[in-house]
């Protein structure tokens, strides 16, 4: 997996303003780019304060059983990043050490694994639904969270498609009319922020692009019921979305 850049100078320009990049899809930020990331996150926190959204922090791992309840692994197996550990039996650990543990290509030679019960978080909001499942709400509840999210892909581009990236989400839990009103307001406010940043976008009806249409009815459901709108910049880069 490698970075695919239309402009061969683009990566050099990004490095000059604070990017570190690995072709495996991992990015680091410093200097101006890190400052920009923090300023943008503060802007979305300010937006979240419009609803007095409660902030929550969650771990980088999420239980596989929780994701299985929403058919994530059936819908997106190609995206999953699993949290794995070696079985701690002495013979297994000795076999791992004798491997050698890492081969000449940099690949880890795994021996027997312990049971796998967690995935690296694919979307920040999933933790909110796990934490608040089963609650009875007298009125709409507003939450916000940020997490590092992980998704495998065929190819990666810095700041466009990465294996690990930061995601800020603002969520409304409530009755359908409350949620729809929240989404309408959020779309308008995000649109105003993007206008202020001079980022022209086109709001488009979308589906999660990783659904396999021939195998997943969720793809058709999103198309028919318009459950996802994306703010698309430059014809092909979704930079924000509202989701019912």
Taking only the tens place, the pLDDT of each residue in 32-90 is: 999 999 999 999 999 999 999 999 999 999 999 999 998 899 888 999 999 999 999 99
Taking only the tens place, the pLDDT of each residue in 134-144 is: 999 999 999 99
Contacts of 122 (CB under 8 A, 6+ apart): 62, 67, 72, 76, 79, 80, 81, 149, 150, 151
Kindly report the pTM of this predicted structure: 0.86
Residue 235, pLDDT score: 87
Examine the pLDDT at 120 and tell me if it is beyond 50: yes
Helix (H, G, I), strand (E, B) or coil at 36: helix
Examine the pLDDT at 155 and tell me if it is beyond 80: yes
Between CA 126 and CA 55 the distance in angstroms is 14
Residue 70, pLDDT score: 86
Examine the pLDDT at 95 and tell me if it is beyond 60: yes
Q: Are strands 228-233 and 237-243 parallel, antiparallel or unpaired?
A: antiparallel
Q: Please identify which residue in the block is written with the tokens 């312990």.
A: 114
The residues facing 63 across adjacent strands are: 118
Between CA 114 and CA 93 the distance in angstroms is 11
Burial class from Cβ neighbours inside 10 Å (0-12, 13-18, 19+) for residue 197 reads exposed
Between CA 37 and CA 31 the distance in angstroms is 10
Residue 216, pLDDT score: 57
Q: Which residue has the higher pLDDT, 155 or 7?
A: 155
Residue 227, pLDDT score: 84
Between CA 180 and CA 8 the distance in angstroms is 43
Taking only the tens place, the pLDDT of each residue in 175-228 is: 999 999 999 999 999 999 999 999 999 999 987 644 455 555 555 444 445 689
Q: Please identify which residue in the block is written with the tokens 């794995």.
A: 84
Between CA 53 and CA 45 the distance in angstroms is 9
Residue 71, pLDDT score: 87
Examine the pLDDT at 25 and tell me if it is beyond 50: yes
Examine the pLDDT at 2 and tell me if it is beyond 70: no
Burial class from Cβ neighbours inside 10 Å (0-12, 13-18, 19+) for residue 66 reads middle
């Amino acid at each position: 997996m490698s970075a695919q850049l239309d402009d061969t100078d683009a990566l050099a320009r990004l490095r000059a303003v604070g990017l570190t990049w690995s072709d495996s899809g991992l990015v680091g930020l410093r200097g101006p780019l890190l400052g920009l990331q923090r300023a943008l996150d503060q802007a979305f926190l300010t937006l979240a304060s419009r609803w007095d959204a409660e902030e929550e922090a969650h771990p980088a791992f999420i239980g596989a059983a929780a994701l299985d309840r929403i058919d994530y692994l059936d819908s997106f197996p190609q995206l999953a990043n699993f949290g794995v550990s070696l079985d701690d039996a002495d013979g297994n650990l000795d076999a791992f050490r004798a491997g050698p543990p890492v081969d000449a290509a940099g690949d880890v030679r795994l021996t027997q694994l312990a049971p796998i019960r967690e995935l690296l978080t694919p979307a920040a909001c999933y933790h909110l639904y796990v934490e608040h499942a089963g609650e009875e709400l007298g009125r709409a509840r507003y939450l916000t969270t940020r997490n590092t999210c992980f998704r495998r892909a065929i190819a990666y581009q810095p700041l466009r498609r990465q294996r690990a990236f930061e995601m800020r989400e603002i969520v409304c839990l409530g009755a359908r009319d409350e949620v729809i009103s929240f989404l309408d307001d959020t779309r308008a406010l995000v649109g105003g922020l993007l206008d202020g940043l001079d980022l022209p976008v086109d709001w488009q009806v979308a589906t999660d692009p990783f659904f396999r249409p021939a195998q997943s009815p969720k793809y058709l459901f999103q198309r028919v019921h318009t459950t996802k709108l994306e703010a698309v910049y430059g014809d092909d880069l979704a930079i924000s979305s509202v989701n019912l």
